[in-house]
Amino acid sequence: MDTQISVIGAGGWGTTLANLLAKKGYAVKIWSYEKETVESINLNHINIQFLPGIYLSDNLFAFTDFNDVIPNADIIIFAVPSTFVRNIANQILPFFSQKKEYKLVTVAKGLEYDTFKLMSEVLREILPKNVKIAALSGPNLSSEVAREFPTGTVIASIHEEILPELVAIFQTNYFKPYAIFDERGIEICGAVKNITAIAIGVCDGLKLGDNTKGSIITLGLTEMNRIGKHFGCARKTFFGIAGIGDLIATCSSKLSRNRSYGEKLAQGKTFAQIKIEMHGMVSEGVWAAKSIHHFAQQNNIDLPLTTQIYKVLHENKPMNEAISDLLTLI
Ligand SMILES: NC(=O)c1ccc[n+]([C@@H]2O[C@H](COP(=O)([O-])OP(=O)(O)OC[C@H]3O[C@@H](n4cnc5c(N)ncnc54)[C@H](O)[C@@H]3O)[C@@H](O)[C@H]2O)c1
Ligand SMILES: O=P(O)(O)OC[C@H](O)CO
């Protein structure tokens, strides 16, 4: 296993992908923002904060210094939440060698909230041309993948030639990547489904019914499609595994941080309480709702679900009112 693989970001998903590859036999290096996570992985083979309960492979080595993980890597998995992507990309920039080619796979599910840029766009803006970028997205709740539950995913890139190698690297007997070319499409799907998941969590917290949730998931899919159309994405991407597949998984799962964020909110918890309960994990949909709402306003895209969730999260609109306003708009 000569390919050198590094993962930037040791949250639930970065650690899961790193461990999947380490279990395949690659010696995987993972960079963590938190020093305690590095110690937890190296000394005890567990990521106690972000992936508790999963024993990590002896082939996984954690670091806090980019110099240990970037220069010699062939494949880099970029797994920090979208809010931190620009900052971390700027930090890793000096560590790339000019003399070799890198493949970088972005797995974050969010947009840059003030510029509306996709993560691949932010990364291409900052990183050198010898870094070829791809995106990976799908119905991939980290602790299910970590427990080897059969799961599909999609890898997409404008550099078609790198896809076969990436598919082969990630493929296991429980994780099946499909290559497609609609990189922007899968990134939009990943960001937008989180808003719907928060809405479904609100329905759960308010103890509303399955009819309500079915209506909202349908609206979420419609909105995904509308935004995607604006970005020139392929319609079939939204009806594929990274679109409706991830929408169903995230909205129906007790494990989803976005769905439980909405549920906790509807149970009357404050933003501060929820933040403490999430102990460092992120709910990307909170920022996606703001970003996509403003983007839609500026571009005259009608997104009633996103608008209502934005109002609940950022303008303190009562949740019952938001759901009933929404369903009269369907
Ligand atoms: N967890 C999942 O099931 C899952 C699955 C697919 C995709 N994703 C996506 O992967 C991305 C990474 O999320 P995650 O779930 O691995 O993380 P997480 O929510 O489990 O953990 C938060 C992460 O943010 C990092 N962090 C905190 N402050 C930071 C800072 N100032 N600078 C840099 N990093 C900082 C932490 O070190 C940690 O890695 C997100 O976009 C998420 O939507 C997550
Ligand atoms: O826990 P969530 O809500 O961030 O969702 C995780 C993954 O994106 C599900 O595919």
pLDDT for 1 equals 77
Name the CATH superfamily, with its identifier, for domain 4-181: NAD(P)-binding Rossmann-like Domain (3.40.50.720)
At position 141, the amino acid (one-letter code) is: L
pLDDT for 183 equals 97
User: Which residues partner with 175 through β-bridges?
Assistant: 151
pLDDT for 330 equals 47
Find out whether the beta carbon of 105 lies less than 6 Å from any atom of ligand 1: no
Selecting among 29, 117, 132, 193, the annotated active-site residue is 193
Residue owning the nearest CA to atom 19 of ligand 1: 281
SS3 150: coil
Measured in residues, the chain has a length of 330
Q: Which CATH number applies to 184-328: 1.10.1040.10, 3.40.50.10900, 3.30.9.10, 1.50.10.10?
A: 1.10.1040.10
- ipTM at complex level: 0.99
Among 80, 109, 188, 287, the mutation site with the greatest number of ligand 1 atoms within 8 A of its Cβ is 80
SS3 30: strand
Find out whether the beta carbon of 13 lies less than 6 Å from any atom of ligand 1: yes
pTM greater than 0.95 (yes/no): yes
Report, as ranges of residue numbers, the positions in the chain whose pLDDT lies below 70.
Answer: 329-330
pLDDT for 113 equals 85
In the block, residue with structure tokens 């709702």: 289
79 alpha carbon, closest ligand: 1
Q: Is 83:90 a contact under the CB 8 Å cutoff?
A: no
Residue owning the nearest CA to atom 5 of ligand 2: 256
Looking at the chain, the domain(s) classified CATH 3.40.50.720 span: 4-181
Among 7, 13, 92, 188, the mutation site with the greatest number of ligand 1 atoms within 8 A of its Cβ is 13
Query: Is 193 one of the annotated active-site residues of the chain?
Result: yes
What is the CA(211)–ligand 1 centre distance, in A?
A: 32
CA atoms of 44 and 26, how far apart (whole Å): 19
Cα 103–Cα 107–Cα 112 angle in degrees, nearest 5: 105
Looking at the chain, the domain(s) classified CATH 1.10.1040.10 span: 184-328
Ligand 2 atom at shortest distance from the alpha carbon of 258: 3
SS3 105: strand
Spatial CA neighbour of 329 closest among 311, 310, 306, 304: 304
Helices (H), 99-209: 119-126, 142-146, 163-170, 183-205
DSSP 118: B
CA atoms of 278 and 284, how far apart (whole Å): 12
DSSP 6: E
Pocket of ligand 2 (CB under 6 A): 109, 139-141, 194, 197, 246, 249-250, 256-258
pLDDT for 327 equals 85
- How many Å from the N-terminal Cα to the C-terminal Cα in the chain? 53
188-208 residue pLDDT tens? 999 999 999 999 999 999 999
At position 61, the amino acid (one-letter code) is: F
Residue owning the nearest CA to atom 4 of ligand 2: 257
**Any residues with CB less than 8 A from the CB of 252 and at least 6 apart, and which?**
200
